Amino acid sequence: MDAPVVPVRLAATTKPIPKRRPLLSPREARLVLLLARADGRAVSHESLENALGLSLLGLQRMVCHIRSKTGYRAIETIYGEGYALPLAVVEAMR
């Protein structure tokens, strides 16, 4: 036996849901803080992995998530060295 189909009427006036930027997780915020303390210098993958308790892949994923949440490339990849925050971003955080 099939259930009866009940038509649903939506209200004519609906309020738009404001778009909010997702907040950084505590671990993501810690990564940004570690990079900010380096004042624009590169921080090695290894030291970030150890400080955050992550593997290299986990660190790379976290950087990707932060970049997507912030809407721009706030974290720079310094090939062969690690990651850095541009000085402009560090100054804006102060």
pLDDT at 63: 95
Q: Given the DSSP bridges, would you call strands 76-78 and 43-44 parallel, antiparallel or unpaired? A: unpaired
pLDDT at 9: 64
Domain 26-93 top-level CATH class: mainly alpha
Tens digit of each residue's pLDDT, the chain (94 residues): 666 666 666 555 666 666 666 688 999 999 999 999 998 899 999 999 999 999 999 999 999 999 988 866 789 999 999 999 987 777 776 7
